[in-house]
Amino acid sequence: MTNFSRRTFARLFGATAAASSLPLPALAAGFKDAIPQPLTPTTHHFPQGFLWGSATASYQVEGAVNEDGRGPSIWDTFSHTPGKTAFGDTGDVADDHFHRYAEDIQIMKNLGVKTYRFSVAWSRVFPNGSGTPNPRGLDFYNRMLDTLLAAGIQPYCTLYHWDLPQTLQDNGGWENRDTAQAFADYAGYTAAHLSDRVKHFMTMNEIRTFVELGYRDGVHAPGLKLTAARVAQLNHYAVLGHGLAVQAIRASAKPGTKVGLAENAIPTAPVIETPEHIEAATRAYRLINASFLTVIMEGRYHDLYLKQLGSDAPKFTAAEMKTIGSPVDFLGLNVYNPAYIRASNSEKGYEVVPSPASYPHMYSPWLEFGPEGIYWSPKLATKLWNVKEIFITENGASSTDVLTPEGEVYDTDRVMFLRNYLTQLHRAVSEGVPVKGYFLWSLLDNYEWADGYSKRFGIHYVDFTTQKRTPKLSAKFYKEVIARNGLA
């Protein structure tokens, strides 16, 4: 018996038994009657047809930044600016997915995923963001989609995952209202060409993140730190771009195409699940997400959001608000960590409960462990806006991920993370919350933005020198979940 197993044995069966020199199987046999048999936990099955998937994004995996006429994006510029990303990492090569997509689709097939969420790089299609499209721009996506469909995997396409064409940024980026129209034109063009094979389009990914980290905090591309008034105005043009794109996709895509978005609405979890705190969490969900998901779902800005901004509030017209509120066919929610909420007598009717320093988090310091978020986010969205179809468009975690000489990655923390989030997701689904699918972030380790390659989110380990992919323990876990359509 190894030290480890003897210690474990001692915990389970007592020190005397563990001290015995008998081999482990003989001891286990001796104690058989004391162990409830079989030791299988309750199975949490998901509804038949639940769509298990995985997700990536163009700049994070593709590489090939100078191929087939692709124009530069703000992430090329930002990542090549000294001091902006960890170790000066760029997405020049990333996972080389542009050349290795067939191998990656085979990996998906082995995993058993039914669907794959990817994003199109705007500057491959319109190298300058608008004007004349690049004739070779969609070639890569055409090849990739044909290979996916041949493998029996349904594609879900995001049109903007933060890689804004640099030319548009040179003209003001999302501060310029024309960018919203350019985005709609690109979205309509791309949907017209891909909707024979893609049935679900997401306009944008995480509007909150690119607005706040890119234009307010300066830690993501384009690296600006603008005033509150300018941020509120460009936020308005970003959500307007979403609404214009919904209309453009509807106008140009094949009948039956569905349109939505993938937003990281902050999940507001009642700190204790009692009616008063649940009520507070519901109010918090609307207000904390006021300028992103709420305005899109309601077509108007929350009164308290405008009041809080005062003279920094965005200027808008009634026609713009109607466009922003264009109905979506489905809602995509990216879920990472929740904010814990409690009731209060303040005007808002809630307070955010701060996390203590000891609160557990994953390898990325911002990623607190909070499985309840994946229960509350879709539940509150359904209650507030009567949404009929929801997908968890992202959920996953970073881990230190060491590849052993035997070729294993024991990411037990990621498995623990996923198991607990999926248990909470099951709780939502079994209560009738209309979550139809789940996209794990991410299929592969990839370019984690300003963190470069230092933070790995994949369930497949990527050696960025050789581009070798190795399934981690979490890939084996996820494969079992998919095969059983549940947790057990």
Quote the CA–CA distance of 56 and 445 in Å, as a whole number. Answer: 9
Specify the pairing of strand 468-471 against strand 258-263. unpaired
Q: Which is nearer to ligand NOJ, 278 or 415 (CB)?
A: 415
Q: Which is nearer to ligand NOJ, 89 or 206 (CB)?
A: 206
Q: Which is nearer to ligand NOJ, 343 or 440 (CB)?
A: 440
Site string for ligand NOJ, 330-359 (x = CB under 6 A): ----x-------------------------
Respond yes or no: is residue 389 known to be catalytic: no
Quote the CA–CA distance of 169 and 159 in Å, as a whole number. Answer: 17
Minimum Å gap between C-beta 91 and ligand NOJ is: 11
Quote the CA–CA distance of 45 and 310 in Å, as a whole number. Answer: 49
Minimum Å gap between C-beta 394 and ligand NOJ is: 5
Minimum Å gap between C-beta 307 and ligand NOJ is: 30
Interface with ligand NOJ, residue 394, by CB under 6 A: yes
CB 81 within 8 A of CB 72: no
Site string for ligand NOJ, 288-317 (x = CB under 6 A): ------------------------------
**Hey, what amino acid is at 116?**
Y
CA distances for 401 relative to 367, 409, 453, angstroms: 16, 6, 12
Cβ neighbourhood burial of 39 (10 Å; 0-12, 13-18, 19+): exposed
Q: Which is nearer to ligand NOJ, 141 or 447 (CB)?
A: 447
Quote the CA–CA distance of 396 and 213 in Å, as a whole number. Answer: 20
User: Among 438, 453, 457, 477, which residue interacts with ligand NOJ (rule: CB under 6 A)?
Assistant: 457
**Exposure string over 253-284, b if 16+ CB within 10 A, otherwise e:** beeebbbbbbbbbbbbbbbeeeeebbebbbbb
Q: Which of the following is catalytic: 62, 263, 320, 394?
A: 394
Interface with ligand NOJ, residue 441, by CB under 6 A: yes
The two structure tokens encoding residue 411: 């990411």
CB 159 within 8 A of CB 186: yes
CB 222 within 8 A of CB 156: no
Interface with ligand NOJ, residue 287, by CB under 6 A: no
Minimum Å gap between C-beta 349 and ligand NOJ is: 29
Q: Which is nearer to ligand NOJ, 77 or 171 (CB)?
A: 77
- Closest to 238 measured CA to CA, from 316, 128, 124: 316
- Closest to 397 measured CA to CA, from 479, 458, 475: 458
Minimum Å gap between C-beta 120 and ligand NOJ is: 14
Contact residues for 154 (Cβ-Cβ < 8 A; gap 6+)? 51, 114, 115, 116, 148, 199, 200
Minimum Å gap between C-beta 58 and ligand NOJ is: 10
Cβ neighbourhood burial of 151 (10 Å; 0-12, 13-18, 19+): middle
Minimum Å gap between C-beta 213 and ligand NOJ is: 10
Specify the pairing of strand 468-471 against strand 154-160. unpaired
Q: Which of the following is catalytic: 62, 206, 263, 372?
A: 206
Respond yes or no: is residue 263 known to be catalytic: no
Q: Which is nearer to ligand NOJ, 185 or 448 (CB)?
A: 448
| Residue 457 burial (CB count, 10 A) | 27
Interface with ligand NOJ, residue 159, by CB under 6 A: no
Minimum Å gap between C-beta 27 and ligand NOJ is: 45
Which residues in the 181-220 window bind ligand NOJ by CB under 6 A?
A: 205-206
- Closest to 93 measured CA to CA, from 453, 344, 406, 404: 453
Q: Which is nearer to ligand NOJ, 56 or 233 (CB)?
A: 56
Q: Which is nearer to ligand NOJ, 57 or 221 (CB)?
A: 57
Interface with ligand NOJ, residue 413, by CB under 6 A: no
Interface with ligand NOJ, residue 57, by CB under 6 A: yes
Interface with ligand NOJ, residue 448, by CB under 6 A: yes
Minimum Å gap between C-beta 241 and ligand NOJ is: 17
Q: Which is nearer to ligand NOJ, 340 or 447 (CB)?
A: 447
Tell me the number of residues near ligand NOJ by CB under 6 A: 9
Residues noted as catalytic = 206, 394
* Binding region for ligand NOJ (CB under 6 A): 57, 60, 205-206, 334, 394, 441, 448, 457
